[in-house]
Amino acid sequence: MENTLYYGDNLHILREYIPDESIDLIYLDPPFNSKADYNILFKETTGEQSEAQITAFEDTWHWTEESQRTFEDLPKYASSEVIVMMNSFRRFIGINDMMAYLTMMCIRLIELHRVLKDTGSIYLHCDPTASHYLKILMDTVFGIRNFRNEIIWGYSGGGIPKGDFPRKHDIILRYSKSKTPYYNPIYKTFTLGTVERGRTKVKGNKPLRKEGTPIPDWWFSNLECNHCGKKLSTNIKRIASPTDPEKLGYPTQKSEDLLKRIIVTSTENENSIVLDPFCGCGTTIVAAQALNRKWIGIDITHLAVNLMKFRLNNMFRLEPKNDYKVIGEPEDVAGAIQLAQKNQERYQFQWWALSLINAKPYGDKKKGADTGIDGFMYFYDMVNAKKKELKSIIVQVKSGTVSVKDIRDLGHVIDREKAPMGIFLTLEQPTRPMKKEAAAKGFYKPQLLQKDFPKIQIITIEELLHGRKLELPMLDIPYKKAKRFIPHEPQIDALDESE
């Protein structure tokens, strides 16, 4: 199986594309928090969250007709133990968001169990509001005897509540498919006291292992040695600071250190396949790529898929089609039309179209009605040799019938927003009057460039798919750039603690 990004519902992708017992390691961090917005992918110029991104990744685990249908379909796929447990959950929890979440997770965990090899492991990163239910669900799907670890990832920093103990840990549940999963222990060095003392009589007075002692199931970030005050060498980095070079503006983003430890522990070699069915900003696939493992990433939005493509290129110089596959995105006009015609994908076509030109989606619930802006592109205009000014290009996306009125409207939006340029991205072919109206808008002339650019540019989806480029100044990419990967950078270090 080749390195692949899939766009779509991971349940469909798992059933359609992933064979039985083909995956060595599964890591998933499925969000559940009805008050949180996930996967805010773009850096902001104003410091405010983008409403378009919030719409894209808003928690969708609510009890709907789909939840009811999935619950009723469980007997087709689940064991009798799973059916009994899910019915017990429903009687106890009732019909609410949590029950919808457990239902949608249950059917996916059944598929993840199917695709995992007998020697494989699955790591489920839990939100504390659902971790206790998920552990029972995992016990039922994977078997109580295949529970391996409840990993506690402790850290410091952040706020301190007044009436509660500060919450300073995450829970990661590790299960296996069988009694004999692949396991490669990571060792920490012994303390000086242990080295001087040696093993006690209780432990048989045997010589200390040269490699040290295996790390336990409690992992830390920012933990310091009690004796020297220095951070311990096998700390797992936690992304906390907004200025962290690794941070991509993604609220639930986990560090590459965490995923590398999991991958090193539970995969054997470069033929091992790592799967993340809730891939988000792609840390799992980035860590797998850095460790020369094969990978599969799945996400339900084009925003996330496009970020992952950008990140793979930025860090490893990897290109889709040449270095890995992308499945589920339109590859031709017919596919684009099909995406545009799906009612439930109303925004997905728009976000996918914007991704073709690396534009940032826009939407503002506070302003109410449509503002005539679907996206932005940014560039710096040099005011003088030492000063530059960030400017925005308005982008409109149209999937239906278009006319000269649309171009006039875009012109009005450009004037209203005092934007230097506008892009009209259309699925349909533009008419001659549309081209004439765009040309009549004239040109934008950057202050220090010896070149001008059409103020309104019309480009079709077909032209973009065939490689046509827009005439634009040097753009500022809307994603935060990830740190460049250094191939021989050490991945795992040692921890100086007692056995």
Percent of the chain, pLDDT > 90? 51
* Architecture label for domain 4-327: 3-Layer(aba) Sandwich (3.40)
Mean per-residue pLDDT over the chain, rounded: 83
Query: What pLDDT does residue 135 have?
Result: 97
Lowest mean pLDDT, pick from 132-136, 359-363, 410-414, 466-470: 359-363
| Cβ–Cβ under 8 Å, residues 24 and 272 | yes
List alpha helices for 333-431, DSSP H.
333-341, 346-355, 404-417
Query: What pLDDT does residue 34 have?
Result: 44
Q: Other C-beta atoms within 10 Å of 394: how many?
A: 26
Has residue 10 got a pLDDT over 90?
Answer: yes
| Cβ–Cβ under 8 Å, residues 336 and 91 | no
Has residue 365 got a pLDDT over 80?
Answer: no
Query: What pLDDT does residue 42 have?
Result: 44
Percent of the chain, pLDDT > 70? 77
Interval 273-287 mean pLDDT: 94
CA–CA dist 149, 382 (Å, integer): 56
> What's the pLDDT tens digit per position in 389-447?
888 999 999 999 999 999 999 999 999 999 999 999 999 999 999 999 999 999 998 87
Has residue 182 got a pLDDT over 70?
Answer: yes
Query: What pLDDT does residue 379 have?
Result: 86
How confident is residue 172, by pLDDT bands cut at 50, 70 and 90? very high
Higher pLDDT, 229 or 129: 129
Task: Give this prediction's pTM.
Answer: 0.82
Lowest mean pLDDT, pick from 41-50, 71-80, 142-151: 41-50
What single-letter DSSP state applies at residue 215? -
DSSP symbols for 158-177:
S---SSS----EEEEEEEES
Half-sphere exposure of 208 (CA within 13 A, CB side): 21
List alpha helices for 58-191, DSSP H.
65-77, 80-93, 97-115, 131-142
Query: What pLDDT does residue 290 have?
Result: 95
Higher pLDDT, 79 or 307: 79
Most confident range, picked from 195-204, 213-222, 342-351: 213-222
Where does residue 329 rank: exposed (0-12), middle (13-18), buried (19+ CB within 10 A)? buried
H or E element: which one contains 424?
strand 421-426
- Crossing angle of the two packed helices 97-115 and 10-17, in degrees rounded to 10: 20
Has residue 484 got a pLDDT over 80?
Answer: no
Has residue 283 got a pLDDT over 70?
Answer: yes
CA–CA dist 109, 314 (Å, integer): 32
| Cβ–Cβ under 8 Å, residues 177 and 142 | yes
> What's the pLDDT tens digit per position in 124-141?
998 888 899 999 999 999
- Cβ neighbors of 370 (< 8 A, separation 6 or more) are none
Q: Looking at the domain covering 333-476, what would its CATH class be?
A: alpha beta
H or E element: which one contains 192?
helix 192-197
How confident is residue 153, by pLDDT bands cut at 50, 70 and 90? confident
H or E element: which one contains 457?
strand 456-460
Shared fold status for 4-327 and 333-476: no
**CA-based torsion, 284, 332, 2, 482: positive or negative:** negative
Query: What pLDDT does residue 416 have?
Result: 94
Query: What pLDDT does residue 200 have?
Result: 55
Query: What pLDDT does residue 492 have?
Result: 40
Interval 481-493 mean pLDDT: 50
Query: What pLDDT does residue 386 have?
Result: 77
CA–CA dist 177, 351 (Å, integer): 38
Higher pLDDT, 262 or 359: 262
Report CA-CA distances (Å) from 418 to 189, 359, 392, 455. Answer: 62, 18, 9, 12
| Cβ–Cβ under 8 Å, residues 295 and 274 | yes
| Cβ–Cβ under 8 Å, residues 57 and 301 | yes
Provide the residue ranges of all domains of the chain, joining segments of one domain with +: 4-327, 333-476
Interval 367-382 mean pLDDT: 77
